[in-house]
Structure 1
Amino acid sequence: MNFRISISIITTLLFILVFTSCVSRKEIAYFQDMPQLQSQLEEAKTNLKIRHNDLLTITVSAANLEAVQPFNLPVTSAPRVGEPGSVSGNMQLQSYLVDSDGNIEFPLLGTVHVAGLTRQELVEKFKKEISVYVQDPIVNIKIVNFQVTILGEVNRPGTFTVPDERLSLSKALGLAGDLTIYGRRDNVMILRETGGIKEYKYVDLTKSEFLNSPYYYLQQNDVVYVEPNSAQMQGASYNRNASVYISIASVLISLIIVIIR
């Protein structure tokens, strides 16, 4: 009789173990309080500023194309990947590297300080200086080495180079294949370097208030880390074959019950 009671207790514990591992909606759903935000939601500003080691492409155009030619670097041909010795390739603009002092060397203008300026501020600066030589110049500037790194409990961790300078945290996580079921959605860390100082911020993806956060839009070289939830951290300390052992134990218990009847 006591033996049967012991088997019943073990079976009950196994069922409790299975069902307590279920994850609630509060742990996995995004933007749970979105209806509460209503019309108060304002568009977050990127405030993206040019930094040291950024690569910039700068093109200048105007009605008089001959007049702007000295301000534009020649277009180069990059060899195609996997085709060594190939004469043809992808055409691409040459870029300017922002040095450790925050400067670039630009045709005719010489040394230009660009670090700390937003892209639009730099466009206006170039327009003003080039207008001395060209009437009504049009300047287009782009950061071509915009990268973010995503680590932790995501499906495809890694470093991603993106052509879009307006990269939201949601879109970045989409590039990484979204969070796994084991990732903490309420405690995602963003590591950022501003003016040589490293800073970090934890954001809660389950709350819509992060849409107004200065960390909603990522900046170049940001690192996003998704922490594993408590179940995953606890599971890491156990044998990964525990589920197999539990299944075997369940089968043995069933056989014992059948035999002793």
Structure 2
Amino acid sequence: MTFKSNILCFLTAAFLLSGCTSYKKVPYLQNSATVNVPAGEIPLYDARIMPKDLLTITVSTTDPTVAAPFNLTVQDPTNAAINYKTTTQPSLQQYLVNNAGEIDFPVLGRLKVGGMTKNECEDMLRSQLIPYLKETPIVTVRMVNYKISVLGEVNKPGTFTVTNEKVNVLEALAMAGDLTIYGLRDNVKLVRETADGGRDIQELNLNDANLIRSPYFYLQQNDILYVTPNKTKSRNSDIGNTTTIAISATSILVSLASLLVTIFK
């Protein structure tokens, strides 16, 4: 076997081995066959109200005029300025949850809603409204600014609003166009702000199917996902003029060596 053939075989073997090793780090949820989550084992996710959340609260009764004091609305000043005669649908007043987890609600005053789920908040408001309405109202609470951010090695990084107030890690990455080839699947960082203003950073492994059992599988409002770049991307980011010149010089030397081998063989 010639010198060239030996080199070619060596490079081919090295490429195939590295390819097999790299592929093991690419697929998501690799051990899915061994992970089974029976219904009821993990409770269904329900978002909890946090400081700085914006809420809309609608109170409905058989007599709309009775519920009107509890349904504050805001007229859009832009539409009103264009034509004051135009009938537009006013938008509901939004309630900002302060750092103590409280909102100021008409008639009822300041209420503690932080840490509650939507259902818990609706039940609390319903019970406090009954004495004023003389009947059981329908109360609907929605989070207006439920959003998450995805950064790092994804195709479309950005901040995304979640209208149904429920999103998991894989859905968030899908919104961001999935990971690039440079993203580490086994080192995705989740940054979460706690109710008391603290910060919690967790590392998630997308290769491991046990991710679906994690308490961090479902994202909370204002969560940040950061996909760490791999070593290849890190090396590429360090390439400058000096490195480019070195690569060019190396290419010339390899060409000269190949030429010499051809001449003297």
TM over 0.5: yes
Partner Cα separation in structure 2 for residue 44 and residue 188 of structure 1: 24
Q: Which residue of 2 aligns with 1:179?
A: 179
Q: Tell me by how many angstroms 1:151 deviates.
A: 1.2
- Judge conservation of contact 1:51–1:102 (CA < 8 Å) in 2: yes
The share of aligned pairs that are identical, in percent, is 36
Partner Cα separation in structure 2 for residue 130 and residue 144 of structure 1: 23
Q: Tell me by how many angstroms 1:77 deviates.
A: 3.1
Matches within 5 A, 1:212-223: 212-223=213-224
Further displaced range: 245-254 or 138-147: 245-254
How many aligned residue pairs are there? 252
Amino acid at match of 1:215: Y
Further displaced range: 22-31 or 96-105: 22-31
- Judge conservation of contact 2:71–2:92 (CA < 8 Å) in 1: no
Matches within 5 A, 1:1-261: 22=19, 24-40=22-38, 42-43=41-42, 45-77=44-76, 79=78, 92-134=91-133, 135-194=135-194, 195-239=196-240, 245=248, 252=255, 256=259, 260=263
Q: Tell me by how many angstroms 1:100 deviates.
A: 2.5
Closer, same or farther: CA 207–183 of 1 in aligned 2, 3 Å: same
- Judge conservation of contact 1:45–1:217 (CA < 8 Å) in 2: no
TM-score in terms of structure 2 length? 0.79
- Judge conservation of contact 2:60–2:67 (CA < 8 Å) in 1: yes
Amino acid at match of 1:228: P
Gaps of 5+ in 1: none
- Judge conservation of contact 1:146–1:162 (CA < 8 Å) in 2: yes
- Post-superposition Cα deviations, 1:89-108, rounded to whole Å, max 9, x if no partner, equal 88633211112322111111
Amino acid at match of 1:256: L
Partner Cα separation in structure 1 for residue 232 and residue 89 of structure 2: 48
Amino acid at match of 1:122: C
- Alpha carbon RMSD of aligned pairs, Å? 3.5
Partner Cα separation in structure 1 for residue 257 and residue 113 of structure 2: 73
Partner Cα separation in structure 2 for residue 129 and residue 14 of structure 1: 75
TM-score in terms of structure 1 length? 0.80
Gaps of 5+ in 2: none
- Judge conservation of contact 1:21–1:231 (CA < 8 Å) in 2: no
Aligned to 1:49, the other structure's residue is in SS state coil
- Judge conservation of contact 2:184–2:230 (CA < 8 Å) in 1: yes
